[in-house]
A and B are shown apart, each in its own frame.
Chain A
Amino acid sequence: MFDFLIFSLTIAGIYAIMALGLNLQAGYAGLLNFGHIAFAGIGAYATGILTAAGYPALVGACVGVLVAVVLGWCIARLGRQLGADYWGIATLAIAEILRTVATNEDWLTGGAQGISAIAFPLGNLPRPWGALGFLALVLALLWVLALASQRLGDGRFGRALRLMREEPKLAACMGYDLRALKSRAIMAGAATTAIAGSLYAHYMSFVGPDYMLASETFMLWTMLMIGGMGNTVGVITGVLLVQAAYCLVPFAKDSLHFGSDIAGALRIGLIGLILLLSLLWRSQGLIPEKLRKIQ
């Protein structure tokens, strides 16, 4: 039970970091990135490939961040006239292409089997201190990134993003370079999420192409929409809620004795239902973005 709790909290923390990365793009800037999980996948794979080749964990994480940022820059430049929802489909397509490549290029990514036996950074410590230590690391990183995200959102940069989100023409006639703004938001989100991906790979000791399934991005979106886009507290609330729902399912499965298909169905269905209801009744999320007070 205790182990399960630590596990759930750690996973929740990692997802929260990914959700923060998505919030920078979707919440602040209004960008419908449906391929967001690709950034996490890149972080995870960079960690897997480089640590398997003998490089220290930090190198893996940094390379992951770098590659993710480059990808972010590329997708920001995609299609100048593309409407928001169609850009979303394009990002989905890119993530799927990357996932297909990861599944097939055995020599690099281990193909469908992925890369295993990734070193757990605090593996030498006796149980449960290793797991607790990692949890502390994740929470510390989450705290730092949440603060950074809050600062960005409340300051000049966030203001520019929010203006671009709501009134792009107005932003342009104030002189803002919308393309540069978009790039910057996506790159920042990419970097954050790649870090989370790297953490995930270390925690699970494994990375595989299923990490980049579109359903993972959809889950992150659900977390964002339920909790409230555009504000840090809302994001974390959403993550906790969805993780709670996800964790309930294995318990229900054991106590009510139903099969894994139904368990899977319950997970997807619960998320879909909550998402739909929140869109219909509280489309701003549980903790909506409020006007920022200026003295």
Chain B
Amino acid sequence: MTSLPLSTPTPALLEVSSLAKAFGGNRVLQDVSFSIGAGEIVGLLGPNGSGKSTLLNTISGFEAIDSGSVRYRQQEIGRLSAHRIVARGVARTFQLPSMPEKMSVIELAMAAATSHHGFWETLAARSGVRAAEAAAREKATRLLHELLLTHVRDLPAAALSGGQKKLLGIVCALMGDPQLLMLDEPTAGVHPNLRNDIVQALRRLNAQGMTIVIVEHDMHFIREVCSRCIVLDRGHIVASCAPQELSSNERVLQAYLGGGAQEQGNAMEAAQ
């Protein structure tokens, strides 16, 4: 039972209550509860195996939840399938994005512009369709430019480097104009220069009102971007605090380091 006081001044955008998920006998998430307010940038941290990715997967609908509830804008989305959750304005990226070989970067981004397959519209090819395609192309071009992918626009998406694929994943997530964006380790494997640009882009998006949840390991990144951190350990939430308080939080240290927490915590602080 680890529901800690969570300061959310505005009505919560996302409310997770008593979420539980087990794979076979392995209880990956146990009684996880927290809420995210509109306009926050929240970091989701925890050692390997703590359940961060599973949490992201259950909220975004890629894994079914065993029990508990997930409410987005006061509506229950816990039992919905992934594409329906996306339709409500919740977008996510993947930790190890796998991109298609037979589609170019720009085509992929255009595919992300809509979630309706448009069978009859495509067949009829009326002027409305052409206008929609042009709009999709412009939006895709703009987002690719913002995330510095313009120079690879016509390459097959699978030919991109790992870091570029991550950026492309963010572009695809943004094409749908989500209100809640969930990123799964967006900076792992990304060139340091690019990393700064991601930080800038996220700050810009947040300033425009987007709520962002980031699963991350990189402490520096977290400090630069997040206003709040939620820490998971073995399926439980052990802390919810500002990034600066992390290294002094007993339970966080215990989660990451095991015993002898305080001295190692001081060492950590010194090293940073």
Contacts and interface: CB of A to CB of B under 8 A. Distances in A.
Interface string A267-295: 00000000000000000000001011111
A155 B122 contact: yes
B122 A291 contact: no
Interface string A162-182: 110011011111111110110
Interface in A20-63: none
B172 A159 contact: no
B106 A294 contact: yes
Contacts of A188: 119
B102 A156 contact: no
A40 B118 CA distance: 26
B162 to A, nearest CB: 15
Contact of B118 (A156, A167, A178): A156
B100 A162 contact: yes
Nearest to B132: A156
Nearest to A294: B106
Contacts of B248: none
How many A residues touch the partner, as a band? 35 or more
Instruction: Give the dominant DSSP class at A's interface.
Output: helix
Contact of A176 (B93, B103, B117, B173): B117
Interface stretch (B9-17, B79-87, B198-206): B79-87
Interface in B134-169: 137, 154, 156
Given A155-B129, A156-B129, A166 B103 contact: yes
A158 interface: yes
Contacts of B156: 291
Contact of A180 (B87, B108, B117, B123): B117
Nearest to A187: B119
Nearest to A154: B122
A151 interface: yes
A20 to B, nearest CB: 14
B122 A173 contact: no
Nearest to B97: A170
B125 interface: yes
A160 interface: yes
A162 B103 contact: yes
Contacts of B106: 294
A292 B156 CA distance: 10
Q: Which of B119, B172, B173, B176 has the most CB of A within 10 A?
A: B119
Given A157-B117, A163-B111, A291-B102, 16 more contacts: A152-B123, A155-B118, A156-B132, A159-B111, A169-B94, A173-B92, A173-B94, A174-B172, A175-B114, A176-B115, A184-B117, A188-B119, A291-B104, A292-B104, A293-B104, A294-B104
21 contacts: A151-B123, A155-B118, A155-B129, A156-B114, A156-B118, A156-B122, A158-B122, A163-B108, A169-B98, A170-B94, A170-B98, A174-B86, A174-B112, A174-B175, A175-B115, A184-B117, A291-B103, A291-B107, A291-B154, A292-B107, A294-B104
Kindly list the 8 A-B residue pairs having the minimum CB-CB distance in the complex, ordered from nearest: A175-B115, A155-B122, A166-B100, A175-B86, A157-B122, A156-B118, A172-B82, A160-B117
